[in-house]
Structure 1
């Protein structure tokens, strides 16, 4: 068809409410990591968001240029969802076939969207509650915009207040957004009573209690025992539970819990990644670490990298830093960093790499001058992140050093003068 004939189709697609119109553009590294994380959740058939997971996976595959692979998860979403919950799925499929150059198939799904919209009408400028809920859940999963997610869940609940999983997700979004509401603990308790199988609510409740200095160790241990009894659901609950253990019990207890979980499901790449995360927490503690633990961590990190080949960037940086602390492996750390520095990276990964490499140069190689150059490179990338903040803090300390290359000092001072304080 000519461009003129296709323009009405494009206009209709632009009006749809779905992943392709929700401005979810992210870096490829984050798209890959989100895709892999969602794939790890699929074995849990009890997950109430299973249909939405398939929808989001289809979108992610499309954005990554894998439109053929996107057909399968979108079809699985069509099978898992019912009634008005299919509206986003049909809209996504209309977009998918449009991107695949299949206008007739795209029109077929547009027609299904129109039929569903007539069957489940809404007021002007209003969305179906199912659409609000899926959009909210997607904001939590992709953008980590928990404040927006909470507002969208609230809109969904105004229409369908009896949806238990929406209530639970709404309260979790408020919690993750660090809502300062005085009744947040009460909301978590009430939501947990309505949704007793949602252990994320209990973990969030205990996390808030731990932050306020309350004793939660016995309850955390009881919850961990419950999670270990259901290996099929571990992927949904293990990471937040380990983070709770890190705060409220101890890092070593988190290592032990992750080890027990992996013993239950030794083929799980997700649980291997969880144990590697706990090893890194232990290594970053100020307490002495044995070379045996560092060796085990390095071996596990290498395995995790092989299991997540498309989303292993941060794990590779962890491995380089572990090599830097392992006897006789400084050369391995330098080699891995040199390989990472040669890659064509997007701004955020590049910033993360420069910041990490700058610290490696400073603490392991004792090359303060080159370290500052890489902190400057990291800070000059205009992406707001912890890495950038850390590099700017390092650069600000240059003013207190008497020994410094005048040219580097001038570059740093110029950068700091034109950079707003963060």
Structure 2
């Protein structure tokens, strides 16, 4: 490889607008099932969108070390552009040519890389920029690519579509892209988007069944479920095999409470995507939801209910294990499975899956949820209250308001009240921690003082007699007598660090005048 040519390419390549310069996976690893999903889109999407998917597939192939396969995908993209966008073939090919240049560069084929750089330059020089231009077609290509990559890419996808729509405000393709991006960002409380972009996208693209189901989900959230269900039924009738339609329709029915219909749709989607771990996870979660429905129903006889629950639990475990085998890397997939195994009495295996979940890279929300679930497991299945308390406290230290946080507060409060009734050591200290996390520092201080008083009363050296009135010392003696008379069960033994507590007391004494 000529150093001069290599150096010149290294300066030019970062200027090209293509997948290699969009930093698609800079902050997060590539999704395990991205290639399967892209291939599925190529099978079911309209021809005009297939070139975009072939470009993305080429990039994924390159990341997997399959450069020859990547080149074949780019050839497919180039052919489709010529067929579907003949009038704009040069502009529409800029991303493909940029990808060609990068792939050939990584293969060490400098002359071929230079050939495609020259093709880009030939088009761009007409617009006063040698290697890059601003146009809605390129912004749209980037937007659709980022949408398919998902996760942290949705915000940037929205920006791309908004920019492109400034030039082409009524473009159906761009309007659909913006509506999808906004829908995906809608889960964030600070970004509640209106329903209008979805409605406008459907007006411009009435045959886009996926956007139709997204509108249905949005209407469901707005308590307009009947209208949403009408849209879902229409979409399923017109696109009975399109996997993104099936997946989203299944979510609609699961939220509605029609779990059987949701399972049916997820299973139909999995026929087209047999290696998709996400679908297996969703099916497993649906079976778990079905278990809760039956347990809460009074219409089934007790023995029939037990048999049905056990059957459904086996199905849920099967699909959750299958999801992990297929490579899904969601932390809650591990904890979902662990919870079901614990219900089956398989605590050792459940523990292993919980530890796998803790070993993953977790967001604060995921970590908080995991501490709550694992605390539950320790409290109710392992009968280890001390470990449960530790995890509830760790979960509460994550300052995210969530249903899990409220559950942990209630569970800790229940444990603390139970311990107070049994005069268990550190029960006042635990009450103090709960008040502190609620921001009630005065109540917390009072609880800490009571715990300190208990420690002084129970000190073998009798040092408490120097600081406490006789009535409190007598009360402490009675507590100690009751404690010796009634041994604590193993499940309530505390694993608090006693040396730390002694240091607290000693430090308090040393600071007194």
Name the TM-score, length of structure 1 as normaliser.
0.75
The Cα shift of 1:316 comes to 4.8
CA distance in 1, matches of 2:214, 2:78: 32
Indicate whether 1:239 and 2:247 are aligned. Answer: yes
- Residues 205 and 318 of structure 1, relative CA distance in 2, 3 Å threshold: same
CA distance in 2, matches of 1:296, 1:99: 46
Name the structure 2 match of 1:217.
226
CA distance in 1, matches of 2:5, 2:67: 24
The Cα shift of 1:106 comes to 1.4
Indicate whether 1:296 and 2:295 are aligned. Answer: no
Q: Secondary structure at the match of 2:16?
A: coil
Q: 1:98 aligns with which of 105, 111, 129?
A: 105
Indicate whether 1:146 and 2:146 are aligned. Answer: no
- Residues 112 and 104 of structure 1, relative CA distance in 2, 3 Å threshold: same
Name the structure 1 match of 2:166.
158
Aligned residues: 395
Q: 1:360 aligns with which of 354, 368, 374?
A: 374
CA distance in 1, matches of 2:49, 2:500: 53
CA distance in 2, matches of 1:279, 1:34: 21
Q: Secondary structure at the match of 2:382?
A: coil
Name the TM-score, length of structure 2 as normaliser.
0.63
Does structure 2 retain, via aligned residues, the 8 Å contact 1:255–1:278?
A: no
Indicate whether 1:259 and 2:264 are aligned. Answer: yes
Does structure 1 retain, via aligned residues, the 8 Å contact 2:249–2:265?
A: no
The Cα shift of 1:279 comes to 3.6
The Cα shift of 1:128 comes to 2.1
Cα deviation digits, residues 306-331 of structure 1 (max 9, x gap): 4x247687645543333223x24333
Name the structure 2 match of 1:15.
15
Indicate whether 1:87 and 2:87 are aligned. Answer: no
Q: Secondary structure at the match of 1:32?
A: coil
The Cα shift of 1:171 comes to 2.2
Aligned ranges for residues 58-97 of structure 1 at < 5 Å? 58-82=58-82, 83=89, 84-97=91-104
Q: 1:283 aligns with which of 275, 285, 288?
A: 288
Moved more, 42-51 or 10-19: 42-51
Does structure 1 retain, via aligned residues, the 8 Å contact 2:371–2:394?
A: no
CA distance in 1, matches of 2:4, 2:387: 57
Does structure 2 retain, via aligned residues, the 8 Å contact 1:157–1:167?
A: yes
Aligned ranges for residues 122-201 of structure 1 at < 5 Å? 127-142=134-149, 143-178=151-186, 180=192, 184-201=194-211
Q: 1:333 aligns with which of 350, 355, 361?
A: 350
The Cα shift of 1:3 comes to 4.2
Q: Secondary structure at the match of 1:140?
A: helix
Cα deviation digits, residues 27-65 of structure 1 (max 9, x gap): 775432333332333321426532222222222232344
Moved more, 99-108 or 283-292: 283-292
CA distance in 1, matches of 2:203, 2:262: 26
The Cα shift of 1:298 comes to 1.6
RMSD, aligned α-carbons:
4.4
The Cα shift of 1:12 comes to 0.3
The Cα shift of 1:296 comes to 0.9
Does structure 2 retain, via aligned residues, the 8 Å contact 1:254–1:278?
A: no
Does structure 2 retain, via aligned residues, the 8 Å contact 1:259–1:275?
A: no
Q: Secondary structure at the match of 1:269?
A: coil
Cα deviation digits, residues 225-277 of structure 1 (max 9, x gap): 642664432x1212222222233x21xx2442432563587464278853641
CA distance in 2, matches of 1:264, 1:278: 11
The Cα shift of 1:373 comes to 6.8
Please identify the structure whose Cα radius of gyration is greater.
Answer: 2
Q: Secondary structure at the match of 1:127?
A: coil
Does structure 2 retain, via aligned residues, the 8 Å contact 1:51–1:76?
A: yes
Cα deviation digits, residues 105-151 of structure 1 (max 9, x gap): 21122122223324677899851211101111223232444333222
Does structure 1 retain, via aligned residues, the 8 Å contact 2:259–2:289?
A: no
Moved more, 23-32 or 202-211: 23-32
CA distance in 1, matches of 2:401, 2:3: 45
The Cα shift of 1:389 comes to 12
Q: Secondary structure at the match of 1:23?
A: coil
Does structure 2 retain, via aligned residues, the 8 Å contact 1:258–1:274?
A: no
